Structures are given as structure tokens and as C-alpha cells.
Structure 1
């Protein structure tokens, strides 16, 4: 098999995204220099340092969020409206994809993403959505409750309950905006 096909297999499982940063490509037997050659030849589209989109994988709504988390590096995750937008809860259409991390990131990142230190997020509040690391929907709603109008937040909680994205006990009284037991 070719290096291009080997990278396709990785990208197919990751919404089209391949990285050399986390050694994914090298773990699959593709040296970083070959990844850069494939990018130069047009088989891969660079998103940023060490993060590429495979051109043979169709772009979906999950591609950019997956790329944003990959660009932020190990331990990064989507949070706030990025999570709600990813699961289709509400109408956010954010200008930037919000990515949280518990560690310092020194690399320059594209303007379409916003990185924030979120060291207070416990492991219990982290999950994966379609294979992309992010906070739980409950945590995303909790983080957004004072960042939006109360009636809109209440509607989001009701929709999340209806779609079984959160449990009934998560927010006992959405009109008072209090967190349940």
C-alpha cells in the first residue's frame, strides 16, 4: 500500500484529519517527511503545523472541530457553544471554534479558533462527540447559562432533555437556572 492510502485510513476515522504532531502518521508507518511531501503534492491540505486534511475524505461539519482540537494538541477539547453547535443543539454558528486545554499551548493558531485555559474542568466533564474530545453537553450548558439570555438557555435545556442529551436531574428548574443535584 502507499503512504497516501495509509493516511487515508487514519483520516477516514478522524473526519479527514491526519496529524504528525501526535505521531499518528508515524505510528501508521508514514514518516513525517512523507506527510509533508504528500501535502506539497496536494494530497493533503494543511490546517496548521502538523495537522492536515486528507483531500480524498469529504469535508463534514466535524472536520474543522476535529482540526481545531488537533491543532491545540494533546488533551485539548471543545467547550461551550462549540460543543452545543457540534451536537446540533441551538443555533450558534460561532465565528470561532472554542477549544479548551489544561496545558499551555505555545504555537500560533488560526484566527478561526479560540483557545482558552480550562484547568478547572474535571475528567468527569469530558467526553467525545463523534470521536472529537469535548465537554459533556451538561457542562457546556452549565458554562453557557450566564452567557446568553435566560429564555434561550431554558429552551436549550428543554431541547437537550427532549433529545436525551442530558438527564432530567441535571438541571432541576431551568427557569431559575439552578444546577440540580
Structure 2
């Protein structure tokens, strides 16, 4: 089989697959450094993520640190790691809470939905539709129990908390949190949103 990159910038005839992301080189087809560093696969399409704004980076770092401190021993918080949801779906959430055994494997490039307890997406202007519509539907279909969507409201975070309804395999909104986020699942969490580590 030919390499998918031989067809660049068009997708290969068989389409991009989740496993292709493990075979992408660090540089682009024309030698561009870190060309494929921030790419995810959404419904068979490679999506290149734009540079992060400071709010986005601050939320990722702060939430990863706080969730890592609060998580029970069998879970770990990681950031910007892929979740392989299917043959043509491999998003890269901003923050994840996964099984500790999976997080301890330094050779991993992605996790499977059954290893994921919480997905956190920090919304950027360029990712609004993906983070609000496309990704939540795919996470729910894959059976991931908990999703948080973080939005920027004048420089302060607002967190929309969702829980999976197993009967419909769709998320239900369980709360909108300003200033402080306190939830009992997937483990007891109490976070001062405005005081996240910078």
C-alpha cells in the first residue's frame, strides 16, 4: 500500500485513518518543521489546529494540574493526547482524565474510549463548531461518560458540564459553572475556576 502522504495535499484514495496519524512525520511534505504537531482526525478529515491563545493554554495547564491533584489513584489527568474513537475519528482533547495504567505507558500515542473518564475541550474561535457540536456527539457515541466544555467569558472561564445518558447515548447538561466548579463525578471535584494556576 502507498503512503498516505504521497497524495498530499489531497487525502489518499482510501481516506485518512486514525492509524495514519501515528505514521505522519514530524516535518511537513515540503520540510516544514512541526507541520503535523497539532493535527487531529475528525470524520476522516485532517484538522490543523491554529496556535493557542494564552487563555486556552492557561485553562489546559491549570485544569490538568488541578484534576491531576484531585484524581484518585487509579486515574490520571493528561493533556493534548488523542482519543481513537473509530477508524476515521481521532480527536485531540485539551485535557483528559484516563486510567492511570494507560497514562503510565509512555509509548502511547492515543487512548481508547473505555480508558477515558472525562474529556475537556477549551473552545477557541476557530474550533467553536467542532467543540460545541461535532466532538461532543462523537464522544457520546463512543460512550465517554463525562464532558466539560470551557468557554472564555471576558477572560474568565465558564464550564459547561455534561453527563452521558446511557439510554440515548447523548449528553445531558448537568450544570453551567462560573467562578467555582463542584461536581461529584467522575470523582469529587472542587475547583476555583478564577484561581486556576497561571
TM-score (norm. length: structure 1): 0.31
Greater per-residue strand proportion:
2
Greater per-residue helix proportion:
1
TM-score (norm. length: structure 2): 0.29
